[in-house]
Amino acid sequence: MTANTDEQRDEAARLETLRKYRILDTEPEIAFDDLALLASHICETPMAAITLVDKDRQWFKSRIGLAVPETPRSISFCSHAIAGRGIVIVPDASKDERLRDNPQVTGDPHIRFYAGAPLIAREGHALGTLCVVDRRPRRLTAAQTEALGALQRQVEAQLELRRRLFELRAANANIEKLAGLMPFCSTCEFTMTIPADPAAIPALTEGVTAMLTQKHWPEEQIMSVGLALQEAVANGIRHGCRGDASKQLQCTVNISGAGEVIITVRDPGTGFDLAGVANPLAPENMLKPSGRGIFLINGLMDDVQFTDGGRELQMKKRKT
Amino acid sequence: MRNGDGARSGPRIIPYMIVGERRIGDVTVLDLKGRLVFDEGDAVLREHINALVEGGRTHIVLNLLDVTYVDSCGIGVLVSKFVSLRRKGGDLRLVHVTPRSRRLMEITKLMDVFRIFESEAEAIASFSGEPAA
């Protein structure tokens, strides 16, 4: 692959990232205008802008002392600034080989001084700059440069917030659509294959808990079902799968409109003899560190059956 | 101590348990926050108490206020640490037992095994006059 196609690919990825912020051609926003204003005050320049470099143009999300809402990319100072990662400072554009023939230097607004801090996206692409501009040659003090960097990070944070808000809204809309189905489900049945990894348990117990809440089960009963499920799956992982996370459990959860939940958990193990499980309430077992799981499931659910030599557990609870 | 949710794969919803420690005289109060369950808070708590015992601190009050979930493994750790502390002349006493934990301890008849207090001050005071290990 040639350097040229590499560059083209990077630019395509950068533009794709820029689109994710959905900011081009939006109305001015006070949060961005405030930061541009602060930049112009702190750096003591008559002009400041928050620019976003699009395919063929640079568009200003915020502009102080600049007349036009966008300029062609070909004459943009900021397209130079986004090539690097640090603040780019041009003390006098009329003496800069790349810029002295630029129409923004030779004509209106007669730019001489430019300092641009690139705005970096989550993916690492430079989207545009926070820049300050003056009509006369000058420099920034160390403190002004440092402050410009701090403001640049604030602009990046505003951009990131904006993008996260869109992402959250989209995710939330999906969740609401799924949840909207629940009231119409006379029976919900989920047939699941679960990795024998304890990290998978919360997704399962929290999901079932949320479904029962949606079906207006009493809180105490929801707690019992959630805990019984936790115990059943933890047992399956620990004993049925011997803690081997590459193995899987089969689990079905059926919540009927009639108000009954039926849960089965099946493990790939060798099973066990229920008669051989010690009673944890026997005096000699009271202070043992383990052996309470099955006892708890029995105490929490209405009906508990082990079948297939202990490899499959079925437990039921009826809503009261 | 294991905490945070970045280190493991899988659909982890709630981070590992965090154990805060405060020392009041001979008594150590452990503020637990998170899930005291299989493969999560159970090992964290066990290791934390083991370290205290090695350092000679055997008067321990567990504050369960922010424990969101307990299962039989979590209960198992409480029982085993209770037993080992008792053997060393210390004790494990509980404060702010949430309804969820209480339910579980009622079913397994452990409410009478542990000394359970409504306030932290009472739990700490209950150790006064008992010699530290």
Contact B33, B65 (CB under 8 A): no
Using CA atoms, how far apart are residues A149 and A41, in angstroms rounded to an integer?
14
DSSP A200: G
Is residue A266 located within the same domain as residue A241?
A: yes
Q: Is the ipTM of this complex over 0.95?
A: no
Range of the domain at A34: 3-173
Name the domain boundary from A152, A173, A194. A173
Q: What is the pLDDT of residues A246-264, one digit of tens each?
A: 999 999 999 988 899 999 9
Q: How far apart are CA A253 and CA A53, in angstroms?
A: 52
What is the rounded average pLDDT for all residues in chain A? 92
Same domain, A158 and A189: no
Q: Are residues A222 and A156 part of one domain?
A: no
| A163 and A297 fall within a common domain | no
Amino acid at B84: S
**Is A178 among the domain residues?**
no
Q: Which residue has the tokens 């590499």?
A: A6
How big is the A-B interface in CB pairs under 8 Å?
Answer: 81
Cα separation of A153 and A253, whole Å?
A: 48
**Partner residue opposite B80 with nearest CB, options A198, A200, A289:** A289
Say if the Cβ atoms of A281 and B8 lie within 8 Å: no
Of A199, A204, A319, the residue nearest A264 (C-alpha) = A204
Residue A42 has pLDDT above 90, yes or no: yes
Is the distance from CB of A61 to CB of A52 less than 8 angstroms? Answer: yes
Top-confidence residue, A184 or B108 = B108
What average pLDDT is seen over chain B?
86
Distance from CA of A281 to the nearest CA of B (A): 7
- Inter-chain contact B104–A296, Cβ cutoff 8 Å? yes
Query: Can you give the pLDDT at residue A275?
Result: 84
Residues 44-103 of B with CB under 8 A from A: 69, 71-73, 75-77, 79-80, 82-83, 99-100, 103
Q: Which residues lie closer than 8 Å to B129 by C-beta, 6 or more apart?
A: none
| pLDDT for the residue A194 | 94
**Is the Cβ of A292 closer than 8 Å to some Cβ of chain B?**
yes
**pLDDT at A319 > cutoff 60:** yes
Smallest CA–CA distance, residue B104 to chain A, in Å, is 8
Same domain, A167 and A206: no
Whether A303 has a pLDDT exceeding 70, the answer reads: yes
Q: What is the CATH number of the domain that holds A135?
A: 3.30.450.40
Query: DSSP label at A303?
Result: E
Per-residue pLDDT tens digits for B57-99: 999 999 999 998 899 999 999 999 999 999 999 999 999 999 8
Question: In A, residues 100-139, which contact B (CB 8 Å cutoff)?
Answer: none
Question: Dihedral through CA B19, CA B22, CA B27, CA B29, nearest 10?
Answer: -40
Q: Is 60 exceeded by the pLDDT of residue A94?
A: yes
Kindly report the pTM of this predicted structure.
0.66
Has residue A8 got a pLDDT over 70? yes
CB contact A192 to B (< 8 Å): no
CATH number at residue A267: 3.30.565.10
Q: Which of B12, B50, B72, B87 is most worth mutating to test chain A (most A CB atoms within 10 A of its CB)?
A: B72
Beta carbons of A232 and A263 less than 8 angstroms apart = yes
Beta strand pairing call for A312-318 and A303-307 = antiparallel
Contacts of B83 in chain A (CB under 8 A): 287
Boundary of a domain, candidates A115, A138, A173: A173
State mean pLDDT over A275-282. 87
pLDDT at A202 over 50: yes
Q: Residue A148: in which H helix or E strand, if any?
A: helix A142-181
Which conformational region is residue A52 in: left (phi greater than 0), alpha (psi within -120 to 50 degrees), or beta? beta
Residues A169 and A310 in one domain: no
